[in-house]
Structure formats: C-alpha cells, structure tokens
Amino acid sequence: MPHGGSILISDGPGESRAAILDDAGGLVALFLHRAHRAEAGSVHLGRVTGRLPDGSAAFIDIGEGGAAFLNASDARVLGGLPAEGAAVLVQVRHAARRGKGARLTGDVSFSTPLLAYGPLRPGVAASGKLPKELAKALTARLRELAEKGEGLVARTAAAEAAPLSLEADLARLRADWALIEQARAAEGPVPRRLSPPPDLLAEALARWPAPDTIVFEGATVPARARRRHPALSDIMGAARPDLFLREGVDEQVEAALSPRVPLPGGGALVIEPTAALVAVDVDAGPAAPATVNAEAAAVLARQLEVRGLAGHVVADFIPDRRDPRRRDLIAQLKQALEDDPAAPYVAGVSPLGLVELSRRRTAPPLADLLCDADGRHSAETVALAALRRVVREAEAHPGGTPVLEAAPEVVEALRGPLRAALAEAEARLYRALTLRGREDFPRDRAETVFS
C-alpha cells in the first residue's frame, strides 16, 4: 500500500486541485476539477436540444459549452430517447474532450470499492472475477439487502469485506441517490448539475491511503475536510497560498506537458500521444542499455499516470544483448506498474521488438485538461491561473483596484464560461476585478496591476 509523502489541496476560483507527492517530492498524480466542466460520474438535469433523424442518439444541454451526446442504447432505462425539449436525468459516462461533447447515460449509478449501485435498474450480481461459490454467496446476501427497484453488484473487494461494511456502503450509496432526487425535485433552472462537486481529497486518498501530511492552501484547514476524514485530522495542516508553486507541483505539471522526459543516467523518454496509440521512444545517452531501460521503465510507469495516458502504448526500448528477449525489462516494467490503479496490462514484445502495454482510461489526459489541440495552454487554463495569482497578489495591495490584463480570448473566457469563477475571485477580493484585453499579449501572458 502506498504510504508516506504528502497530499496537497488547492481550491482556487473556479478550479480545485489535489496533488500527491512521494517522499522525494515527486508528483505521483494530479486531480483537477473545474466548476464549469462536467467530469465522468457527475449527474445533471439536462434539456434535449435535438435528435438524430435515424433516432440513434439525442443531443443534451447539460450546461457546458457544447451539447452532450446520449445514445439510444444508453437511454433504455429511460424508456427510449426523450423528446426534443424534455428535461432528462443523465449521468456523464465520458467527459468532453477537445471538441467532442460529453457522452451521457440514463442509467445512473454510483459505486464504492465494495459495491456498485444502480437505483434505476433492478437486479443483483457479483463480479465475474470472483470464485463461483463466493459470487453465489455474495449475490444471495445482496438479495437480502436490496430494496425494490435497486440494482446491486458486489465488486471484487467485497469478497474480504465484513457484512457490516457492505451495509454501510449501501447506506452511503442510498444517501447519495437521495440527495440527487432532492436536488432534482427542487426548483431551479434546466440544465443544472444535481450531484455535488467531487471530493478531491477522497480521490487522492483512494490512490494514496497513508500520507504523512495533508496540506491545504490557505489560512486554515477546511472544516468539511475534518468532518469527512476525521481519522486524518491530526496530519492536516494549512499553508500559504503559493503552495503548489513552492512545492514544485506547477513545475512538474509543466514538465508533464513536454514530450521529452530526461532520465537520471543521461538518456531520455520521448512520449508522443496520437489518435491511435501512445508512442514512446527511449534515447540511450551515455549509460549502458540495461541501465537506461531500467530507468526508462520506472519513469514511464510514473509518467503514464501523471499524464493520464491510456489505451494502447508502444515503447521502443534500447536493444540489449544481455537481455535479447527483454525478459528482465518486462519484469521491471510490470513491477513499476504494480501500484497503478488504472490496471496496466503488459502484453509483451512484438515481432519487431516493441514493448506493448495497455492502460485503462480513468480520466481525460492531462494535456486535454490543460491545453488546446495546438499543445499550448488553453484560454481557460491561463484565465484560471491568472485568477489565482490576482487573489494571491492582492494581499500585498489591500487598498488597490486590481486590473487583469490578458489576451482578448482569455478575457472572453472570463466573461463567458468562467464568469462564475470571476465572481468567486471578486468575492475573495472583496472588490471588483477589472478586465482589460490586450491585443499585443500572447495567449499565455496575463498580468495584474493595482491602481
């Protein structure tokens, strides 16, 4: 079980971030939530804006910039695709990515490490990975617990769980669904989000259960964190607003957007995601092939998680006469990937000597979250970073009027999809923030002046 190191939490205007650092300060994983973006698993009351002529799918407005997509096969629990103009309860199956709208489902579900819960589709089952007799016993237990109309699936971890643990998880899942139903029944606009924002600390703890410290950016530890995680209260602390900058997280995130990754012995990895696969090349440098390959295996395992890369990965390691069939290398790579929660599978070596592996997608790639298709920081990324900086710098200018100067597309983002983030920044500043578009500024340049 991973342990030690630290978890850092930053809640800025419009954006929350959580970073896991190991004992050496290396970035293990980054979790990011932008309030105006729907992540996988979020539940929304959407509005049908159109349907394909063949009846195979519908377009749903869930409050994001582009329309989301509901296939007919994902609407069976709703009785088929809803009519145009109808309000519909949906859950995000896959988040929007670079010009592609989010993919939705009407089959809302929630899960814990022990159970998957579907309040709209009845039935009980157990993971196919469980032994037959154990699966049968768990299924019988779930039939006793399930209420009319509920769907329950025992996950693999349920095999070793105490009966009371199953009941506690089920109670929590039912409570989550009750909150969704309450939010749906309440008066409000359509579209609107019904589920609460993700608990990034909980997500980080699921990946890294035993950190030495949990540090929140700000003056105090949020009371909600102590309530949600009381057993960890003693290791929680607060730090100055420049936490991610001071601890090197911002620098490591920037490095994770670069194709080239230096290796300790002087070689390098070159990581190039494409539409079909992720291509990885290993540059030798001055060290022996066995040394370079061992370093590359360890670094590649870390980089796949940090960058959020998934799907088919093909790596061209250095040929090594001592390990012509790459058995040592494959063993090293499997060991390096053991703790990855995305369950990578090392397929082996292709006839051309390329190492092939796959990794399950659990979130959009880091580059998709932070950059446009041209590889540069998106206007949203620049705008949110600028808001954090304004709030931080305002402490040194208590009486000044802040003016944010940025490229017109950054200003447009703040006045459009990020207007709620702008309002949040102004609430923290206790004053208005003046926006000034500068045609002479490149996209990644934003400056604050106080008048």
Q: What is the CATH number of the domain that holds 30?
A: 3.30.420.40
Last residue of a domain, one of 325, 359, 393: 359
364 lies in some domain = no
280 and 344, same structural domain? yes
CA 146 to chain centroid:
31
Q: How far apart are the first and last CA of the chain?
A: 52
The token duo for 143 is 């039939």
- What CATH number should be reported for the domain holding residue 71? 2.40.50.140
pLDDT value, residue 427 = 94
The verdict on residue 1 lying in a domain is: no
| 99 lies in the same domain as 119 | no
Same domain, 274 and 352: yes
Whether 339 is in a domain gets the answer yes
Asked if residue 187 and residue 215 are part of one domain, the reply reads no
Q: Residue 52 falls within a domain, yes or no?
A: yes
Q: What CATH number does the domain containing 405 carry?
A: 3.40.1260.20
pLDDT in tens, the chain (451 residues): 677 899 999 999 999 999 999 999 999 999 999 988 888 899 999 999 999 999 899 999 998 877 899 999 999 999 999 999 999 999 999 888 776 788 999 999 999 888 999 999 999 999 888 899 899 999 999 999 999 999 999 998 888 888 888 999 999 999 999 999 999 999 999 999 999 999 999 999 989 999 999 999 988 999 999 998 999 999 999 998 889 999 999 999 999 999 999 999 899 999 999 989 999 999 988 888 899 999 999 999 999 999 999 999 999 999 888 888 888 999 999 999 998 988 899 999 998 889 999 999 888 899 999 998 888 999 999 999 999 999 988 888 887 889 999 999 999 999 999 999 999 999 999 999 999 999 999 999 999 998 8
Count how many domains the chain has: 5
Q: Would 144 be classed as within a structural domain?
A: yes
Of 212, 211, 218, residue with least CA distance to 238: 218
Nearest to 304 by CA among 266, 330, 278: 278
Verify that 229 and 273 share a domain, yes or no: no
Using CA atoms, how far residue 125 sits from 106, 117, 134, 394, in Å, is 20, 11, 12, 55
Q: Match 């208005």 to its residue by tokens.
A: 432
Secondary structure element (H or E) that encloses residue 429, with its range: helix 419-429
Between CA 334 and CA 344 the distance in angstroms is 9
CA distance 101 to 325: 43
Q: In what order do the strands lie in the sheet with 123-126?
A: 110-111, 115-118, 151-154, 123-126
List the beta bridge partners of residue 283: 268
List, in sequence order, every residue forming a beta bridge with 238; answer none if it has no partner. 216
How does DSSP classify residue 171?
Answer: H
- Angle in degrees, CA 309, 343, 21, rounded to 5: 65
Give the bridge partners for 449, in sequence order: 403
The pair of structure tokens assigned to 140 is 């019988």
DSSP symbols for 224-270: HHHHH-GGGGGGEEEE-TTHHHHTTHHHHHHHTTSSEEE-TTS-EEE
Residue 366 covered by a domain? no
For 305, the token pair is: 């998680």
| 127 and 157 belong to one structural domain | yes
Angle at 238 between CA 236 and CA 240, to 5 degrees: 155
Same domain, 50 and 81: yes
User: Which helix (H) or strand (E) element contains residue 93?
Assistant: strand 87-94
Residues 304 and 278 in one domain: yes
Any idea which residue has 């000044």 for tokens? 400
Q: What is the pTM of this model?
A: 0.87
Residue of 30, 28, 34, 29 lying closest to 12 (CA atoms):
34
Tokens describing residue 324: 């012509």
d(CA 159, CA 161): 6
- Domain shared by 186 and 121, yes or no: yes
Give the residue numbers spanning the domain of 208: 6-35+199-250
My answer on whether 12 and 62 are in the same domain is no
The dihedral sign for the CA sequence 246, 250, 252, 255: negative
